[in-house]
A and B are shown apart, each in its own frame.
Chain A
Amino acid sequence: MLWTIVPLNIVMDGSDLHQPTYTEIPWKSGILLVEETGQNTARVVRLLSTDPADYLEPATQPGKILEYSKKKPV
């Protein structure tokens, strides 16, 4: 339930259009849920880890853009 001063129609605007595809990638002791934003870049959505210290890492903050290289198929 939302309790906000912003009208609900503004908050929810575009909720039908936004259909992201998330990918899970292993990260240290947990999993990083990312949304692909372009070629070899992804935006961090959420970190799933049981080590609380992982959540203080700058690299895992939601919204952080990560660059990665895909492994070439052997």
Chain B
Amino acid sequence: MRQLSRRRQRLQPKRTQSVNEKLDTPPQKEENVLQNIQELGQNIIPQQLESSIHSISIIGQVEGHLILPPQNKTTKYEHVIPQLVAIEQNAKIKGLLVLLNTVGGDVEAGLAIAEMIATLSKPTVSLVLGGGHSIGVPIAVSANYSFITETATMTIHPIRLTGLVIGVPQTYEYLDKMQDRVIKFVTKYSRVTEDKFRQLMFCTDQLARDIGTVMVGKDAVDDGLIREVGGLSEALRKLQELVDEQEAGRVVH
């Protein structure tokens, strides 16, 4: 008790002094107010060191040779491809994170992006968020290491011309060849076998209006398409690991 009252005594004069100071010097207060107003509307952004990794998001439709109507969100391959060239060439960039939330799109454009990612000499990690359907599948597997979030889905279904009856055998063969290109790529860069991938593609009891398979998170890992279930932190940690491995002189697979 005694100690407390002593503290109070010590504090009291100080407090009154500071109040007096404020009252005696009103111009300074005004200046402070002005300074405050000048600082309004300015965001204080936390300082960030220059990042050594870059990320590309593959969203909406992968746009190819045809400009899609404006209601589509699109990823333009003519922009992504030179970006990948810049990433390969820039010595400051050590690794690439590919984020996928796509409903599919142009086969040629998708394969072009996938081939570019697969042949990049720098470590790459892909992360499927939300959805990585159709042509999103080869893009997802093209990275050195792939992740899928628990709730993300991947739909594998045959390539075809919607609503058209195939009139000549050549059309069927053309579609079949397109499909083979995709299957070849996916089986080369992931652990899924060709038989398994075809089986998933032509499964008849999964989709109501189509044939194919919808895989949610872990299913894609179990079938060997994606390497691991994980989110952002896992993907970034893995990428850093691969970057460190490459800097130590080991080959990244």
* A residues at B contact (CB < 8 Å): 1-9, 11-15, 17-18, 46-47, 49, 52-56, 61-62
Contacts and interface: CB of A to CB of B under 8 A. Distances in A.
A26 to B, nearest CB: 18
Nearest to A56: B86
Contacts of B159: 1, 3
A6 B61 contact: yes
Nearest to A14: B69
A14 B61 contact: no
B151 interface: no
Contacts of A12: 68-69
B219 interface: no
A55 B78 CA distance: 10
B79 A11 contact: no
A3 B105 contact: yes
A4 B106 CA distance: 8
Chain B interface, DSSP helix/strand/loop, else mixed: mixed
B228 to A, nearest CB: 24
B178 interface: yes
Nearest to B83: A55
Contacts of A49: 82
B154 to A, nearest CB: 10
Interface in B68-95: 68-72, 76, 78-79, 82-83, 85-87, 89-90
| The 9 residue pairs across chains A and B that have the minimum distance between CB atoms | A4-B104, A52-B86, A55-B82, A52-B85, A8-B162, A14-B69, A3-B134, A15-B69, A55-B83
14 contacts: A1-B64, A2-B105, A3-B104, A3-B134, A4-B103, A4-B134, A5-B103, A7-B162, A11-B72, A14-B71, A18-B70, A46-B76, A47-B82, A55-B86
A62 B103 contact: no
Contacts of B146: none
